Structure formats: C-alpha cells, structure tokens
Structure 1
Amino acid sequence: MDENNHIYPIFDRMLARRDKEELLKQRGVMVWFTGLSGSGKSTIAIALERELHKRGVLCRILDGDNIRSGINNNLGFTEADRVENIRRIAEVSKLFVDTGIVTIAAFISPNNDIREMAAGIIGHDDFLEIYVSTSLEECERRDVKGLYAKARKGEIKNFTGISAPFEAPARPALTLDTAVLSVEESVGKLLELVLPKIQKK
C-alpha cells in the first residue's frame, strides 16, 4: 500500500452530497421557522413534513423537544447558551442537508445575528428563513403551554417577547401569520416555495 495515502483526509473517500441527493432523488434544504412561542412554528412544521412525506420527500424535523432533551440537554437559557443552542442545531442541520434531507427547524431564534450564524453554518443557498409573524397579543392569547402567564409573573426569566426581545427577520423567504392563515393555507404557500428548491434538475 502506498504510504502517501495516509496524508489524504477521510473526506476524499466519503461519498459526496450529490451522491446522496441522486440516491434520494431530491435536494437537501433547510426550512428554518422563526417566531414567538405559540406563533404556530411547530404546528406548521409538522404539517409541512406530512405533505412532503406524501410526495415522497424525506424530511427531518428539529425542534425544542427533540433537541433540548438530547444533544443540548446541558444548555440553559442564558444569552451564551441560546447562541450555543442554535450553533449546535445548525451544525447538525448541515449534516442532514448535506445528506440530501429536507430539514425543518422550528426555533424562536430571536435575532438576526443568531439566524445569520445558522445560515452561515448551513450555507445561505440552502437556507430558507420562514418568519411566523403571529403577533405577541395573539400568541399570548393562545398561551398553549402557559408560558406567557408564568413570564408575566416573573417566574420565567428572559422570556422572548416579554422580558427578552424578538427581532423580526429583515428578509425572510416567506412570512406567515397564523392569526390570518389556516395551517392548510400556510403549508400551501410553503409548498410553492420549497418544492422547486428540492426537485432534482
């Protein structure tokens, strides 16, 4: 065996992204939902996954439930921990996208800097930022998990929208207000955006 083979990195021997995408007959892309707690991010993400699945598209949803309980279970909600939370999510997402999987993330990700970091890690060409723009008033009225009530009482510190700021995306690929749009209407708009991006040429 040629001893010089040892100097080549393992990446030279690994299958490329195009090989994975050819196998799956789809392109990998990141659909990144951002918005306040209770805005409808996870609901729309799950509905989108179901519709794509029906069309034979392989997807993976990443959200607080499956990330905070696993890979990020050592992180809290300090500013530094929030940044690290999104950084790790983006690194994991990049692996999925590079495997040709349509990856759907539903995280508050409250400011442009943190979302720009995620887009930079994943790749801007593969990153579709979806702003679920449902108002604070509507999210607080729903208060699905009772979090806003606790935040108002001071029981939850640094709660986005109450005691911590939320910065709306500057140039989202799509904006959805679930106070106006039904889940079906939101998913319809998403399919119009996403399907052309993931179809193999």
Structure 2
Amino acid sequence: MATPPTGGTPPIRATPPTRAAITTDAAGAAPPRPAAATVWLTGLPSSGKSTLARALAGRLRAEGRRVEVLDGDEIRTFLSAGLGFGRRDRDTHVRRVGFVAELLARNGVLALVPVIAPYADGREAVRRRHAASATPYVEIHVATPVEVCSVRDVKGLYAQQAAGEISGLTGVDDPYEEPAAPELRVPAQHLTVAESVAAIHAHLDERGLV
C-alpha cells in the first residue's frame, strides 16, 4: 500500500457499515416502510377536526409513525399570511396546504390536515395533486351539523357572526360544500373523541396506511 507523503493528509476511505448496522428481512432486502398518506379532515368550524387530528397524531406517534399535523390557523400565519376569506383566497390557501401535505406524504410522513376546505373544487385539486404522484390521499368528513358546532363555538365565531361582527362564516353565511363521496364520514357529535379516532385509525389500517 502506498504511503502518503510526509506531512500530507492520508486519503479518506469510506468504512463499510457493520452487519449490526444493517437491518434486512430473511430475503436480504430492507423491510418495507408503511405507506405514508395525507389524511384531510374537512368539516365546519368547531366540528372537531383539530381535536381529532391531534388525538390521532398522538396515537400514531405512540405506534412509531412519523406524523405532522398541518393546522389551518398555523398555515395561515406562516404560509398564507395576507390571504383573506373570499373564495379565491380560500382556494389558494387550500392548494398551498395541499402542496405541503403531498410533499410530506411523498417523503414518508403521515400528514394530518384539519382544514375546512369548504369548496369541492379546491378539495378535488388537492386530490388530483396526490393522484399525480401516486401519493395516498384520504378525505375524512367530520360531519358535525352546524347546530352542534354553533353551540360548541370553540373560537367564538358563531357568536361574532350572530352579533354582526364578522361575515362569511362557513356553513352560515358562506357555503360549505359537503363531500359527496369521502373515504370516511365521521358523525362526531354521536361519538367520543376516542371512538372517532378509532374509526379513522381502523380505516387507515384497512388501507395498509398504519
């Protein structure tokens, strides 16, 4: 073997990984990783979307899954700042969230998206983006009726709308186009959070996504 010149730097050689560092199955191939997906929870304000997404994320992380929750309010702060609540801006917001979700899911992260996405064409655009990259996409309709949501009124939006302080509230004085054929419809007003999460988890399990 050649000896490096005096005072020089020895060449760097890659060290092959030890057998203990390589995990393979009996056939010698790396074990498959569970498929990632975007799970979009659509529904009215105060329907329970964020509560279910956070609870589902906790269960999935306990099972060792890589999960991110793309909360609509946080995305508006950091990615959609300056957008309003007219139809065009709402669609732009939904498409931006869909882009981030598909990017995460395509790279092995389960993306949970509790975002209203009130218009069918906006949701369909997100579905098409996922289909184009063969990335699994699951639409969950959290189907809590407006009468129940307005009583919950987690953010006080229904009270503000009733008082004339805001307008354009989805499901009240702005349209909410219910999904015609979601992968799963959850009547959250009749279920506990744990029961709703179990229903979503069971659906994902049936599809081989968890």
* TM-score between both structures, scaled by the size of structure 1: 0.84
Q: 1:197: how far off?
A: 2.8
Structure 2 counterpart of 1:194: 204
Aligned residues: 178
Q: 1:180: how far off?
A: 0.1
Structure number with higher relative contact order (C-alpha < 8 Å, ≥ 6 residues apart): 1
* TM-score between both structures, scaled by the size of structure 2: 0.80
Q: 1:66: how far off?
A: 1.8
- Choose between structure 1 and 2: higher helix proportion: 1
Structure 2 counterpart of 1:178: 188
Tell me, in whole angstroms, the C-alpha distance in 1 between the residues paired with 2:175 and 2:142. Answer: 16
Gap change, CA 1:140 and 1:98, over 3 Å in 2: same
Alignment-mate amino acid for residue 152 of structure 2: R
Equivalent of 1:31, from 30, 39, 42?
39
Equivalent of 2:71, from 38, 63, 69?
63
- Secondary structure of the corresponding residue to residue 68 of structure 2: strand
Contact 1:93 1:122 in 2 (8 A): no
Tell me, in whole angstroms, the C-alpha distance in 1 between the residues paired with 2:40 and 2:32. Answer: 21
Equivalent of 2:147, from 119, 137, 140?
137
Alignment deviations for residues 133-175 of structure 1 (CA, whole Å, 9 cap, x no partner):
0010000011111100111222212110111011110111111
Q: Matches of residues 129-168 of structure 1 in structure 2 within 5 Å?
A: 129-168=139-178
Gap change, CA 1:45 and 1:23, over 3 Å in 2: farther
- Secondary structure of the corresponding residue to residue 85 of structure 2: coil
Structure 1 counterpart of 2:111: 103
1:127 aligns with 2:137: yes
Alignment deviations for residues 85-133 of structure 1 (CA, whole Å, 9 cap, x no partner):
0111111111101101111001111121111011111227611000000
Bigger radius of gyration: 2
Tell me, in whole angstroms, the C-alpha distance in 1 between the residues paired with 2:120 and 2:148. Answer: 22
Structure 1: gaps spanning 5 or more residues: 1-21
Structure 1 stretches (4+) deviating beyond 3 angstroms?
Answer: none
- Secondary structure of the corresponding residue to residue 197 of structure 1: coil
Tell me, in whole angstroms, the C-alpha distance in 2 between the residues paired with 1:113 and 1:81. Answer: 13
1:83 aligns with 2:83: no
Contact 1:29 1:197 in 2 (8 A): no
Tell me, in whole angstroms, the C-alpha distance in 1 between the residues paired with 2:104 and 2:194. Answer: 26
- Secondary structure of the corresponding residue to residue 69 of structure 1: helix
Contact 1:152 1:162 in 2 (8 A): no
1:40 aligns with 2:48: yes
Alignment-mate amino acid for residue 148 of structure 1: Y
Deviates more, 1:142-151 or 1:122-131: 122-131
Structure 2: gaps spanning 5 or more residues: 1-29
C-alpha RMSD of matched pairs (Å): 1.6
1:169 aligns with 2:179: yes
**Percent of pairs with identical residues:** 37
Q: 1:198: how far off?
A: 1.9
Q: 1:188: how far off?
A: 0.7
